């Protein structure tokens, strides 16, 4: 009989079925799936192969059912490894839930990129110490939704309200935020990319001293808007540096992943600048920098979206990714807030209703807890679930209204009379009020 081809999306479910059907003795312990860079899956058992040869042999035969995705070796035992604890106690292990089922398995996913979308740890110990400083991350699956402009206007309103603002541009591939807030002559000597390159050879502390600029947008306000741009002043080597910026490096003879380095940079800048609030412009799309910004840095992540099938499909892919990893979902879901960007001028009641319904369906299908019929819930307060009209819920969007005059908006012109406060409030008022209320609520707790 011809063997059926096994494809990537089927492998983990088949591996879980193999483990479940094997009726492994309790003494064997809980199996661990290890998926490598190519997607090949091995079953790891924290036992000695030499003492459990019959069990291992049977399992190895079953693993061949994974076809081209069968790991090599198909079964890994503790005595096959140089340091078994390094594998079986790896902090990157997550519980993976098979979509559409209640079946779960411990999995260690080895990836080239995207590892930070899997993190359930959230932040470094150093970052946790400074969690009292709100970090607001602005994210969108694609560019052109007004994310950077909204961030600049929010920075202005926060400084106007008496808050010291630190703005960090982590959109390294498209470093345009500094252009909104800093004229060329105001750029600092160095940017985030410079720090990443220099830190790799032990010179990061020298760069930090020369990578912050004050935006002229806040010159006549109560407090400053301080900017750590992606790019430094007159940098003719930006692409050369960018190609090296994402590397994992050794710091003090210890390996440090890119995500850990960015977290350390943010903490260092917070210690130096002592801001009241930190605004982070994330890279668009599902890049590692976006993963780090949302999962590892944000106290609140604002998810910019327009009501398009492509946008909802993209967010569903991301949310489903988290849904399959409950520890990650629990870590991130309370920190999300949808933003209805470029909200149109026509048919507003109908369009607002459609956006809200689609946003609610997205969250309800993936990240909200489900109460099954007849299920016993000890305390409903323990459930992460919301009514569709709950304005405090992550799915309930803050709106930014479309205004044709603001599409080529230069925030640095706010104070010269070209754009009135009423005009800005008409477009951004709901969004600004929502952000300020969330900040006030967080600080009063």
Query: Nearest CA to 311 among 346, 341, 288?
Result: 341
Question: At residue 345, does pLDDT exceed 50?
Answer: yes
The pLDDT tens digits of the residues spanning 287-338 come to 666 777 888 888 999 999 988 888 899 999 889 888 888 888 888 999 999 9
Question: At residue 445, does pLDDT exceed 60?
Answer: no
Question: At residue 33, does pLDDT exceed 90?
Answer: yes
Question: At residue 36, does pLDDT exceed 70?
Answer: yes
Q: CA 258 → CA 174, 325, 390, distances in Å?
A: 18, 22, 38
Mean local confidence (pLDDT), 351-360: 93
Sheet holding 225-228, edge to edge: 213-214, 225-228, 165-169, 277-281, 135-140, 300-305, 336-343, 398-401
Q: Provide the mean pLDDT of the chain.
A: 83
Question: What does the domain layout of the chain look like in residue ranges?
Answer: 8-110, 125-368+385-444
Question: pLDDT value at position 388?
Answer: 95
pLDDT bin (cut points 50, 70, 90) of residue 117 is very low
pLDDT bin (cut points 50, 70, 90) of residue 442 is low
Query: Nearest CA to 335 among 276, 394, 286?
Result: 394
In this prediction the pTM is: 0.81
Residue 253: exposed, middle, or buried by beta-carbon count in 10 A (0-12, 13-18, 19+)?
A: exposed
β-sheet bridge partners, residue 399: 340
Question: At residue 2, does pLDDT exceed 50?
Answer: no
Residue 226: exposed, middle, or buried by beta-carbon count in 10 A (0-12, 13-18, 19+)?
A: buried
Mean local confidence (pLDDT), 414-430: 74
The CATH code of domain 125-368+385-444 reads: 3.40.50.300
Question: pLDDT value at position 256?
Answer: 76
Mean local confidence (pLDDT), 240-262: 78
Least confident of 81-85, 125-129, 153-157, 410-414: 125-129
Question: pLDDT value at position 325?
Answer: 84
Give the H or E element holding residue 131: none
What phi and psi values does residue 197 have, to the nearest 5 degrees?
-70, -45
Mean local confidence (pLDDT), 391-410: 80
- Kind of pairing, strands 225-228 and 165-169? parallel
Separation between Cα atoms, residue 275 and residue 159, nearest integer Å: 11
DSSP secondary structure code for residue 404 in this structure: G
DSSP secondary structure code for residue 185 in this structure: G
Question: pLDDT value at position 300?
Answer: 92
């Amino acid at each position: 009989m011809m063997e059926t081809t096994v494809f990537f999306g089927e492998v983990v479910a088949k591996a879980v079925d193999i483990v479940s059907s094997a009726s492994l003795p309790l003494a064997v312990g809980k199996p661990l799936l290890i998926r490598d860079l190519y997607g090949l899956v091995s079953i790891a058992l924290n036992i000695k192969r030499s003492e459990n040869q019959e069990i291992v042999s049977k399992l190895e035969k079953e693993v061949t059912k994974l076809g081209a995705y069968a790991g090599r070796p198909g079964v890994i035992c503790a005595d096959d490894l140089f340091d078994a604890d390094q594998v079986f106690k790896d902090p990157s292990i997550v519980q993976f839930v098979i979509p559409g089922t209640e079946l779960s398995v411990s999995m260690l996913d080895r990836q080239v990129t995207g590892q930070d979308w899997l993190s359930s740890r959230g932040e470094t110990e150093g970052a946790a110490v400074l969690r009292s400083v709100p970090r607001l991350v602005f994210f969108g699956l694609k560019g052109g939704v007004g994310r950077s402009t909204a961030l600049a206007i929010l920075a202005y309103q926060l400084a106007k309200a008496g808050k010291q603002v630190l703005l960090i541009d982590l959109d390294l591939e498209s470093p345009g935020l500094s252009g909104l807030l800093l004229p060329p002559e105001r750029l600092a000597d160095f940017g985030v990319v410079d720090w990443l390159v220099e830190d790799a050879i032990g010179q990061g502390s020298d760069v930090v001293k020369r990578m912050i600029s004050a935006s002229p947008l806040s010159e006549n306000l109560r407090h400053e808007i301080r900017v750590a741009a992606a790019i430094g002043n007159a940098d003719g080597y930006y692409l050369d540096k960018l190609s090296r910026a994402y590397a994992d490096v050794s710091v003090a003879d210890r390996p440090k992943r890119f995500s850990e380095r960015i977290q350390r940079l943010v903490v260092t800048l917070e210690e130096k600048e002592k801001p009241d609030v930190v605004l982070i412009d994330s890279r668009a799309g599902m890049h590692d920098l976006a993963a780090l910004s949302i999962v590892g840095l944000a106290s609140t992540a604002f998810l910019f979206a327009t009501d398009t099938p492509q946008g909802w499909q993209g967010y569903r892919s991301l949310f489903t990714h988290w849904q399959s990893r409950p520890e990650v979902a629990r870590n991130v879901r309370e920190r999300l807030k949808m933003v209805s960007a470029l909200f149109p001028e026509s048919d507003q009641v109908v369009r607002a209703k459609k956006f809200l319904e689609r946003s609610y369906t997205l969250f309800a299908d993936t990240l909200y807890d489900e109460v099954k019929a007849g299920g016993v819930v000890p305390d409903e307060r323990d459930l992460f679930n919301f009514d569709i009209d709950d304005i405090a819920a992550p799915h309930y969007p803050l709106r930014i209204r479309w205004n044709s005059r603001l599409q080529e908006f230069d925030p640095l012109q706010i104070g010269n009379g070209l754009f009135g406060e009423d005009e800005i409030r008409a477009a951004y008022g709901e969004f600004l009020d929502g952000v300020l209320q969330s900040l006030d609520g967080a600080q009063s707790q």
